[in-house]
Amino acid sequence: MSNPHFTGMMRSLSLLPEVEAILLAGSRAINTNDHLSDYDVYVYVTAEIPLAVRKAIADKYCSYMEVNNQYWETEDDGVLNDGTEIELIYRDLDWLDGELERTLFQHQASTGYTTCFWSNLINSEILYDPKGKAKTLQEKFAIHYPAELKNNIITKNYPLLSQKMPAYRKQIQKALKRGDVISINHRIAEFLASYFDILFAVNEYPHPGEKRLIDIAKSKCQKLPVSFEQNMSNLIKHVGTCNDDILVVIDQTINNLNAVLKEEGFLVTSKIESAF
């Protein structure tokens, strides 16, 4: 790493007895970063690092740091002395192993983002791993996309697009009748989570997370729905309009996805059922 503030901070963290591995993830790990990219660092620990120790390290290398944020995971979020943002996320390797076992070997699907932890691990750059535990984990899960997992992701997420009672399209239709733009926004986000989970599964590509999904899908997915980018653009454009045009866009998006799924041998229906 050419950033002395970053390398110094990683060196200081690596000297702590609680730390057994440090991995760099995100765009900087795969060299797709731009001037807005931060450092996404996963610090794997055997025990909690005292807050005072984490703060002392942050004070040395960072101009600003929020220590021990607990909004999603245990994190320290701040800005290095050169102005680059950094995110330190503290995890346990055994916990990650268990999560990936359930996903990749037991083939348990989620409603959206099913394979994100997998993508995170296999695309991370190991910065510190004295016992080789992180490398062993990467090798363990360097496997071909499981066919059963692919099927389970599609089976779990597809009915939520428009078919079942709690389907996102039906919830959006009800929200339109109420003029509830906040609910529409929330359901569109969930719709897209399931949509992209299906799309990446069809292409047997581990889900990359929340950022740059259109660009990643265009570059990594050989099986894309017709008018994919236009559908995504139209969907976002109509989120705040609160009129039935958004249902037309949703239907087009689902129908175009259906064509891909049918070509891949998945039995889906293109019938869109209205909410009652």
Q: Which two tokens stand for residue 206?
A: 């581990």
Is residue 169 pLDDT above 70, yes or no?
yes
Alpha-carbon torsion (173, 252, 164, 214), positive or negative: negative
Mean pLDDT over each residue of the chain, to the nearest integer = 92
Q: What are the boundaries of each domain within the chain?
A: 4-93+125-135, 147-263
Q: What is the pLDDT of residue 92?
A: 96
The CA–CA distances, whole Å, from 257 to 97, 134, 226, 271 equal 32, 37, 8, 13
Cα-based angle 209, 262, 217 (whole degrees, multiple of 5): 25
What pLDDT band is residue 272 in, cutting at 50, 70 and 90? very low
End-to-end CA distance of the chain: 57
State the CATH architecture for 4-93+125-135: 2-Layer Sandwich (3.30)
Higher pLDDT, 195 or 212: 195
Higher pLDDT, 112 or 164: 112
Other Cβ atoms less than 10 A from the Cβ of 120: the count is 23
CB 154 within 8 A of CB 266: yes
Q: pTM here?
A: 0.90
Q: What is the pLDDT of residue 31?
A: 65
d(CA 135, CA 138) in angstroms, rounded, equals 5
Is residue 276 pLDDT above 50, yes or no?
no
Nearest to 242 by CA among 187, 190, 191, 164: 187
